[in-house]
Amino acid sequence: MDDVRDRLQRASGYVTVPERPFERLIEKRDRDRRRSRVASAVLAGVVAIGVVGGAMTMLSRLEKEPRRAAVGGLALQPGQYFYLRIQSSEEVDGHIRDLETWWAIDGSGEVRNRSTRQDKYPTPRSGRYGPGAFPVNITVSDDLSADPKELLAQLRQDPWASQSVDQPEGLWDVISHLLLEAPNAAPDIRAALFEVVKDLPRVTTIEGAHDRLERDAVVLEFSASEITWTMHFDPGTHQLIAWTSVYAGGPASWIVLESAIVGSRGERPDGDDWLVPPLPPGLPP
């Protein structure tokens, strides 16, 4: 035992005991804590910069993209105009549609009809119209509901009941007619028509599709006899952006649309006025 004690004492002579050992431990702990706080602050700053940068990137993208209003927020307000443009391929009798309309809920608006064969298909006539004078004889603004269930019940009653709306094909035809021939059908009613038609028997829904201009679309497809019809709707606003029909596997007849809400008649939409991606300028028929 004495031999072991002697060796330990000799070995201790080679070890330097630090001055103020306890205080130095406290100081080391404090330094470590400061380093940890600095590192946390730096990390938080990096994360914050990333979040802000991501948010700015997202905002810049939203500024460049058309508005994607919620389906329930499409009601036209007093003083606003529903803008609709329709262009088509050549149809029967060489009638090619090229039509712009501005319609307000008081029945005023403007029509710019550049379609061909106006000798046979003159309506609606170009011009500016005061309240109640908009030249469309399809009454939908006061009569049709924007609630899909109520709308379906209305479509099965007069004046629509005479068009075989008890069958899916009849309802498909009536809804197509309203979407393509009634510029006084406001955006919220059009969104409700989408809800009605997608639930019809024999209608197939195709998500993640595109129209002929490569715009994102939800496609509703319906076939009867040798004809297949498709409706392309904007995924966000459920506004019709394209319509096609194909008979017996032949070439497709098509119609493309763009729509917006603007503050005055005759005003060309811009920025977030758009409800759907607009048509490219100079689109050929």
Last residue of a domain, one of 48, 64, 80: 64
Domain tally, the chain = 2
Residues 82 and 169 placed together within one structural domain of the fold: yes
Residues 56 and 77 placed together within one structural domain of the fold: no
Residues 200 and 181 placed together within one structural domain of the fold: yes
Last residue of a domain, one of 21, 39, 64: 64
> Quick one: average pLDDT of 21-29?
45
DSSP codes joined into one string, the chain: -HHHHHHHHHHHTTPPPPSSHHHHHHHHHHHHHHHHHHHHHHHHHHHHHHHHHHHHHHHHHHHHSPP---GGG-PPPTT-EEEEEEEE---GGG---EEEEEE-TTS-EEEEE--S-TTT--PSPPEEE-TT--S-----TTTS-SSHHHHHHHHTSTTTGGG-TTSHHHHHHHHHHHHHH-TTS-HHHHHHHHHHHHTSTTPEEEEEEE-TT--EEEEEEEEETTEEEEEEE-TTT--EEEEEEEETT-PEEEEEEEEEEESSTTPPP-GGGBSSPPPPTT---
Last residue of a domain, one of 19, 34, 64: 64
Residues 39 and 85 placed together within one structural domain of the fold: no
Residues of the domain holding 147: 72-273
Residues 45 and 83 placed together within one structural domain of the fold: no
In a domain, 279, yes or no: no
Residues 154 and 40 placed together within one structural domain of the fold: no
In a domain, 154, yes or no: yes
**How much is the mean pLDDT over the chain?**
77
pTM of structure? 0.72
- pLDDT band for 91, please (50, 70, 90 cuts): low
In a domain, 282, yes or no: no
Residues 215 and 266 placed together within one structural domain of the fold: yes
pLDDT of 128 strictly over 60: yes
For 170-191, how does the pLDDT look when each residue is reduced to its tens digit (9 = 90+)?
Answer: 899 999 999 999 999 999 999 9
Residues 112 and 83 placed together within one structural domain of the fold: yes
- pLDDT band for 162, please (50, 70, 90 cuts): low
Q: How high is the pLDDT of residue 42? A: 41
Residues 154 and 250 placed together within one structural domain of the fold: yes
For 228-267, how does the pLDDT look when each residue is reduced to its tens digit (9 = 90+)?
Answer: 999 999 999 999 999 999 988 888 899 999 999 999 999 9
For 5-18, how does the pLDDT look when each residue is reduced to its tens digit (9 = 90+)?
Answer: 454 344 344 333 44
